[in-house]
Amino acid sequence: MNSNSKVKVIVLLLGFFYGIQLHAQPITVTDVVGREVTIPAPAKRVILGEGRQLITLSLLVPDPVSIIAGWTGDFAKSGGLLYEDYRKRFPAIDKIPLIGSSGKETVSTEQIISLKPDLAIFGAGSHGPDAKSADVIRQLEAAGIPIVFIDFRLHPFKNTVPSIEVLGKVLGQKQKATQFIDFYHRRMNYISGVLARHPDIKKPKVYMEMIRGAVPPGSPGKGNLGEFIEFVGGNNIGTILPGEVGTLNMEYVISEQPDVYVATGIAKPSEEGLVIGQNVYTNQTQQSLSKLASRQVVSPLHAIQQGKVYAMWHLFYDSPLNIAAVEALAKWTHPELFGKLQPHGVLKEINERFLAVPLKGVYFAELKK
């Protein structure tokens, strides 16, 4: 190629590049708490108020780590072997600056501002800054850093789709977001449609222990995983709790005699509690679930005595992957209607079509006799 040809190519490339920039339009979204937010172009440097939302980003962005300017350290603590798989796939994860450890009180607004992000992504109600973090919101907005709020934790079935829509727009991934939303609607509509055809079906009582390796375990109340139970036609005995999560008195639980027992966990294989999740084997989950079911505090429950004992990965509670947990709960709560559902099959489709790092291992289990 002679020098004149090279010059022409460079001019064409520059014209093409600047043409795109000149025609770029600002992006305006309304987030899940009703705030209208405008950014000049798709975000390339984002702050994650909860590190575990890396999983959500990986549904839309092939290399989600590359766009994270800073995050909290909660995913490293709670992600177990899944976090390790993200590290292997994206070694740059170790270089992401921390804006806090875990909990909104640990987050440094000064650190966020110093990282010069073009967007902060926070949960409407989360372990990081949320919609009630007035000082953080005020300081970031004063520094010219826009914030969008998403939610998969407080009201998952109201806010999952709007949250994905917002992320698709602000990250320049509208097509991928639309594909996931179509998939999500298809699976959810099937379950709601079947239940609509059986309006008088009995609602089994469900007791869920959110183990997380913690003692005492929590239970879902009127939001969070409690909405999952109610959506699939179950009766969540935790609705007496004042918030979305709390601790139930075991005398009350025994008096209710739930029909179904479900444990959630995030434990690594070396820890106590429910062993379930990435790269976990069936025998590990079965052994830990059997140990949980044999505790004196729950052994009097009819659900335990009748073998209606189940387990699932805890982090479904704060993720658009919640659709897989919905199918599992539908199957466990109403096997006569949903016995053929395969929640691990849902994860397989999500792995193949969306996730940057696939979920591999046991994510759902039924205690074998």
Q: What is the mean pLDDT of residues 190-194?
A: 97
| Lowest-confidence segment of 8-17, 61-70, 96-105, 324-333 by average pLDDT | 8-17
Residue 129 is predicted with a pLDDT of 80
Could you tell me the pLDDT band of residue 116, with boundaries at 50, 70 and 90?
very high
- Rounded to whole angstroms, how far apart are CA atoms 280 and 218? 23
Distance CA 86, CA 178 (A): 25
Q: What's the mean pLDDT in 260-267?
A: 90
pLDDT tens for each residue of 119-171: 999 998 777 787 888 888 999 999 999 999 999 988 888 999 999 999 999 99
The chain-wide mean pLDDT, for the chain, equals: 90
Give the C-alpha distances (Å, rounded to integers) separating 305 from 19, 230, 287, 288.
Answer: 69, 23, 17, 17
Give the residue ranges of DSSP H helices in 58-144.
74-78, 80-89, 109-114, 134-142
User: What percent of the chain is modeled with pLDDT above 90?
Assistant: 75
- pLDDT tens-place string over residues 33-90: 999 999 999 999 999 999 999 999 999 999 999 999 999 999 998 888 999 999 999 9
Q: Give the pLDDT band (50/70/90) at residue 24.
A: low
